[in-house]
Chain A
Amino acid sequence: MSDSYEIVMGIEVHAELSTESKIFCSCATKFGKEPNTQICPICTGMPGTLPLLNKKVVEFAVKTGLALNCSITKENKFDRKNYFYPDLPKAYQISQLYLPICRNGYIEINSKGKKKKIGIHEIHMEEDAGKLIHDENATLIDYNRCGVPLLEIVSEPHFSNGDEVVAYLTALREILIYTGVSDCKMQEGSMRADINLSVRKRGEKELSTRTEMKNMSSFKEIKRAVEYEAERQISIKQRGERVLQQTIRWDEEKGIGIVMRSKENADDYRYFPEPDIMPVVISDGEIKRIKNLLPELPQQKRQRYISEFGLNDYDASIITSEKELCDLFERTTALCDRPKEVCNMIMGELMRILSSLGKTAENLNVAPEKLASLINIISEGKINRNIGKDVFEQIYFYNVDPWEYVKENNLLILDDPELTEKTVNEIISENQKSVSDYLSGKQKAKGYLIGLVMKRLKGRADPKSVNEAVDKKLKQLQP
């Protein structure tokens, strides 16, 4: 990428809210149902039907706004956005243009160690559209998703690279999940991000023509798409040509953007106030009530983990990135009062298992009581750390009780100097080659011998006493 250009980006995130029912009717919002089995006359816009606004949607919007440091609009109105498309059965989307429910917020992000405030321009409530299934010569329409409540969260154009975009989306996703307003599953489309991107010569003040990119299904793809598009626009400019205002669909398989349509003539959506919905007034008392519902947010938690539990910044960030990890960490620490040990077990063993299984921390089946008990057993020196790792696996996969498991399988640390000495003698006499290596100066050989002793003692010996016994024996053999 040429250094003489800089990228300017803004993001529009659409997050589906985790309500039971749709925004304007009582149909369920469950994902993955048979096509058109969660629809009714209202969400398909049949003649004579009227929208009935879901209270929870307003509450979730306010909650999100408060979590994102926004000011809340007291008198809310809805507007109609008019356009024809088969996924929009009324041919208008009920949205908010003139008076969005939240404005002027921000999120603090941490991208590659650098902190930055990203402005939130506005958040508004709207309805989702249906799903189109294209086959060779026809398009089939499934309206199940039609009317699922959405928040559109519009950032300021404050991003200058893909890492910042990912950091922002990560932070936003955390907050939406923490507050319980959305499950933010990108694969299921419950979180979608459109990126507005333009490039300009460094030092230029004015914004250049931008494109809008859609259809990225993961943060990784978003980063790829951003990089692709920035390169493309820079090379256009370098050729002295003009970037066209276009909507671009990201093709993951090909790794390229495909122009959906040109927007040279701005769309005329003919927005006007929705006459079927009365203004929604949010009182100060209501805002206060919702504020009290707000949980501790990831950023606040992170700070607390560092100051209260002495975790380092990195560990604190990883654990607070998932609500499930926080729950496990906090509840286990409350039981055993060894935050660092708990953190190490989560960062080490749990993360290793999760990544080897390709899983996320969702639906963790590790009971804090069992983890706390294991950490106590290890910390009190009753078993070896390595055996502790095995026990953790047993807890994770078979839900064993750590103490009983240790006892049943004779895993307690050995306190038997005679057996240790006997075993050291056996190993030394069986491995003369290593002994002579050691004696000729190869330090490594000692570790190898210790390992063999530990192995023969099934890992249960106290590593310190084995170490001493081997040392002593080797010293005796020194010429």
Chain B
Amino acid sequence: MNDNLTQGLSKLCNIALTDEEAEKMQIELEKIINFMKKLAELDTDDLNEMSHPFEGVFPLREDKTEPSYSREEMLKNAKNTENGCYRVPKAIKEK
């Protein structure tokens, strides 16, 4: 594990840490990650991953519309709105 672990993660998560916090976080993360490494002891080659605790067939939704929520209701929890839209600082970098 390298020193930039916390830095890299902080970038991916959009969370900034002060130097002091980062140093502490690095130590804690290393400790926890080492603890997690225990799983490597187990042979799991022939196993399927279990991403749901339940297995079975589940009903899907019919393609029917229902009235949407009112725009006011949807926008009321937003801090910045303009002309019925959510508003953010200009997004330059595109995805």
Direct contact of A and B (CB under 8 A): yes
* Chain A residues near B75 (CB-CB < 8 A): 36
Asked if B94 and A138 sit within 8 Å, CB to CB, the answer is: no
* Chain B residues near A314 (CB-CB < 8 A): none
Asked if B95 and A26 sit within 8 Å, CB to CB, the answer is: no
* Chain B residues near A134 (CB-CB < 8 A): 90-91
How far does the alpha carbon of A36 sit from the alpha carbon of B54 in the complex, in Å? 36
> Is B79 an interface position by the 8 A CB rule?
no
How far does the alpha carbon of A137 sit from the alpha carbon of B64 in the complex, in Å? 39
Interface residues of A in 121-150 (CB under 8 A from B): 132-143
Q: Of A44, A77, A247, which contacts B74 at CB under 8 A?
A: A44
Asked if A278 and B52 sit within 8 Å, CB to CB, the answer is: yes
Asked if A141 and B64 sit within 8 Å, CB to CB, the answer is: no
Asked if B84 and A34 sit within 8 Å, CB to CB, the answer is: yes
Which of B19-27, B30-38, B39-47, B65-73 contacts its partner? B65-73
> Is B83 an interface position by the 8 A CB rule?
yes
DSSP class of B's interface residues: helix, strand, loop or mixed? loop
Q: Of B49, B82, B94, B95, which contacts A273 at CB under 8 A?
A: B49
Asked if B74 and A53 sit within 8 Å, CB to CB, the answer is: no
Query: A245-269 toward B: CB 8 Å interface, digit per residue (1/0)?
Result: 0010100000000001100000010
DSSP class of A's interface residues: helix, strand, loop or mixed? loop
How far does the alpha carbon of A1 sit from the alpha carbon of B84 in the complex, in Å? 49
* Chain A residues near B58 (CB-CB < 8 A): 278, 280
* Chain B residues near A141 (CB-CB < 8 A): 85-88
Asked if B91 and A36 sit within 8 Å, CB to CB, the answer is: no
> Is A189 an interface position by the 8 A CB rule?
no
How far does the alpha carbon of A260 sit from the alpha carbon of B95 in the complex, in Å? 8
How far does the alpha carbon of A273 sit from the alpha carbon of B66 in the complex, in Å? 28
Q: With A35-B83, A37-B71 given, is the CB distance from A139 to B90 under 8 Å?
A: yes
* Chain B residues near A118 (CB-CB < 8 A): none
How far does the alpha carbon of A278 sit from the alpha carbon of B91 in the complex, in Å? 34
* Cβ distance B78 to chain A, nearest Cβ, rounded Å: 9
> Is A347 an interface position by the 8 A CB rule?
no
Asked if B88 and A54 sit within 8 Å, CB to CB, the answer is: no
Closest to A134 in B: B90
* Chain B residues near A11 (CB-CB < 8 A): none
Closest to A91 in B: B14
* Chain B residues near A38 (CB-CB < 8 A): 68
Asked if A77 and B86 sit within 8 Å, CB to CB, the answer is: no
Asked if B88 and A138 sit within 8 Å, CB to CB, the answer is: yes
* Chain B residues near A289 (CB-CB < 8 A): none
How far does the alpha carbon of A71 sit from the alpha carbon of B60 in the complex, in Å? 22
* Chain B residues near A26 (CB-CB < 8 A): 61, 64-66
The winner among B56, B57, B64, B65 for most chain A CB atoms within 10 A is B65
Q: Of B63, B69, B74, B83, which contacts A140 at CB under 8 A?
A: B83
Asked if A54 and B60 sit within 8 Å, CB to CB, the answer is: yes
* Chain B residues near A139 (CB-CB < 8 A): 87-91
Closest to A34 in B: B84
* Cβ distance B7 to chain A, nearest Cβ, rounded Å: 14
Asked if A275 and B51 sit within 8 Å, CB to CB, the answer is: yes
Q: With A55-B61, A261-B93 given, is the CB distance from A40 to B69 under 8 Å?
A: yes
> Is B1 an interface position by the 8 A CB rule?
no
Q: Of B60, B82, B84, which contacts A55 at CB under 8 A?
A: B60
> Is A52 an interface position by the 8 A CB rule?
yes
Q: Of A20, A249, A280, which contacts B64 at CB under 8 A?
A: A20
Q: With A40-B74, A41-B69, A273-B49 given, is the CB distance from A35 to B85 under 8 Å?
A: yes
* Chain A residues near B14 (CB-CB < 8 A): 84
How far does the alpha carbon of A19 sit from the alpha carbon of B63 in the complex, in Å? 7
Q: List 26 A-B contacts (CB under 8 A).
A: A20-B64, A21-B66, A26-B64, A26-B65, A27-B68, A28-B65, A34-B71, A36-B84, A37-B71, A37-B84, A39-B71, A40-B74, A46-B77, A77-B51, A84-B14, A86-B86, A138-B89, A139-B89, A140-B82, A140-B86, A141-B85, A142-B85, A260-B93, A261-B94, A275-B52, A279-B52
Q: List the 4 shortest-distance A-B pairs measured between CB atoms, nearest first.
A: A140-B85, A56-B63, A26-B66, A273-B51
Given A19-B63, A88-B95, A141-B88, 8 further pairs, Cβ under 8 A: A41-B69, A83-B95, A85-B95, A132-B91, A140-B83, A140-B87, A268-B12, A273-B49
